[in-house]
Amino acid sequence: MREKQAYLNIGEGRVVNEPTILEAVGIGSCIVICLYDKEKRVAGMVHALLGNNPHDEKADLNPMRFADTAIDLLLGEMAEKGCQKGNIVAKIFGGAKLFTLEHINVGEDNIFAVRQKLEEVGIPIVAEDTGGKHGRNIWFDTENGKVVVGRVFGPTLEY
Amino acid sequence: MTELSKFEIDAIAEIINIGAGHASNALSVMTRKDIHMSFPEVKLCPIEKIPQLLGNPEDLVAAVYLKIEGKSNNKLIPVGSLIFMLQHDSAEELAALLENRKPPKEKSFELGEMDVSALEETGNILSGASLTAISKVLDMQLVESLPHFAHDMLQAVLSFCLIELAPKATDALTFTTAFEVEGHEIDAYFLLLLDPESLELLSKRLRTLFEDMLAEYIEEEYSDA
C-alpha cells in the first residue's frame, strides 16, 4: 500500500500515527525537527523559520514558525496520542548559511536554539545533518523513523 | 500591522513603480537591450508564503539580497529588504549578456565566479536606482548593505529574507516587479519587503505630501481668481 504523504510548508508542523511520508523542501537556514516514538510509531515534524519565539502578545504570531514553541506543541500532541517522553528521539536538519557576506548566521543560531530546547525537554538528538552552505530536501518516513535528505549540490543521504 | 487604505497602497506601489522604472533603465543600459517591466504587484501575504510568490520552492535560483536601513537622527533604523532573483537559466543568460559573451550551449547547474560578481553588481546598481524614489518620499537617506549572493533552491534562498520580519509580523506587504529582457529568455524579479515601521512612516509622509499638494492646488485657484 502506498503511504500517505504530507507536505509541510514553512511554519507548519504535523503529528501522525499512521505511516506517512512527511516532506519539507527548500530548507536553507530554516530548521526541520523530526520527533519519533518507535514504540507507538507516532511521529511529529515541524519546518521552523527561527529558533526562538519572541512571545510578542500583540503580534500573535504562528507558534510553528519558531522551533521552541513548535517542539512544545508537537510533544503535547504526541503525549495525547499516548507517547511516553522517554521513548521519543529527535533528528534535526537544516540551519545552512547560503548567502555570502552574511553578517549574522541565522542557520547556526537556529541549530543552537533547537539543541538547547531539546536538551531542556530531555529529548536526545540521535542524528543530524545541519550547517553547511546548501539547501536540503527532507523526507521523513514515519513507518520506520528514517529520514532521507536530498540536495541540489551534494549527495542524498539517509539518517 | 497598521492597516493601509487602498489609496495608500496604490500610492506606495506608484513610488515603487517609479523606482523600478529607473532600475529598468539601468538594466537596459547595462545589457544594451530593451527591458519590459510589469507594474508592481502588491500582495498582503503571510510571511511563510512569501517565497512561493516568486516560483516553486525547489526551483534552482540565483538571488541578490540587500538590507536597507534609513538614517534618522544619526541612528540607523530598519527599512526593509530588497531581493533581485532569477531562475538559474535566466541567471546564466543574463550573466553572459553582462559579460558580453554567448551563453554556454551546455546547460549546467553551476555559476562561475565572474557570473556571480556580475549578478551581484547588477543587484547593487538596480537597488540603488530603485531606492531613490522611496528615499525622496521618506525624506530620509537610505543605506544599503553590500549585496549578498546565494545560488540554491528558491525557498532555501528566500527564507533568509524573512528573518527580519518573522519575529514582528504575521503578514507583510510584498511588492513584486517582473522584468523581461527583449530577445532573451531572461525573467528577473524584484521583491521589496518593507518593515512595518517604515511602511507606517511612508504612509504618514504620503498623507502630508498629499495634503500639501492639495492645499497648494486649491490656493492656486484662489490666486487665479
Walk me through the domains of chain A, giving residue ranges and CATH numbers.
4-158 (3.30.1330.200)
With respect to residue B34, please indicate whether it lies within any of the assigned structural domains.
yes
Residue B211 pLDDT exceeds 60: yes
pLDDT over threshold 90, residue B31: no
pLDDT for residue A64 is more than 60: yes
Band (A116; pLDDT cuts 50, 70, 90): very high
pLDDT in tens, B71-124: 988 899 889 999 999 999 999 999 999 888 887 777 788 898 999 999 999 998
| Distance between CA atoms of residues A85 and A106, nearest Å | 29
Local confidence band at B3 (pLDDT 50, 70, 90 cut-offs): confident
Partner-chain contact A60 B170, CB within 8 Å = yes
Position B110 in a domain: yes
Candidate from B147, B160, B168 with C-beta closest to A29: B160
The x, y and z cell numbers of residue A87, run together, are: 521513548
pLDDT tens, position by position, B141-153: 999 998 999 999 9
- Residue A106 to residue B161: CA distance in whole angstroms: 11
Question: Which residue do the cell numbers 511612508 mark?
Answer: B202
pLDDT (mean) for B156-182: 90
Please tell me the predicted confidence (pLDDT) of residue B86: 94
Report residue B205: phi and psi, to 5°.
Answer: -65, -40
Q: What is the pLDDT of residue B62?
A: 96
Residue B54 pLDDT grade (very low, low, confident, very high; cuts 50, 70, 90): very high
Contact assessment for residue B99 and residue B114, using Cβ atoms and an 8 Å cutoff: yes
pLDDT of B2 above 70: no
pLDDT, residue A24, reads 97
Q: What pLDDT band is residue A1 in, cutting at 50, 70 and 90?
A: low
CB–CB of A62 and B48 under 8 A?
Answer: yes
pLDDT digits (tens, 9 = 90+) for A117-144: 999 999 999 999 999 999 999 999 999 9
Answer yes or no: do A25 and B60 touch at CB < 8 A. no
CATH label of the domain that carries residue B61: 3.40.1550.10
Q: Which residues contact A34 (CB under 8 A, 6 or more apart)?
A: A22, A43, A44, A45, A90, A91, A92, A93, A138, A140, A145, A147
What is the C-alpha separation between B157 and B60, in angstroms, rounded? 9
User: Distance, in angstroms, between A5 CA and closest chain B CA?
Assistant: 17
Query: In total, how many domains does chain B have?
Result: 1
Q: Note down the domain range covering B37.
A: 6-224
User: Residue B155: its chain A contacts at CB < 8 A?
Assistant: 10, 25-28, 135
Question: Does B1 map to a domain?
Answer: no
Instruction: Give strand pairing partners of B173.
Output: B44
Q: Is the pLDDT of residue B1 over 60?
A: no
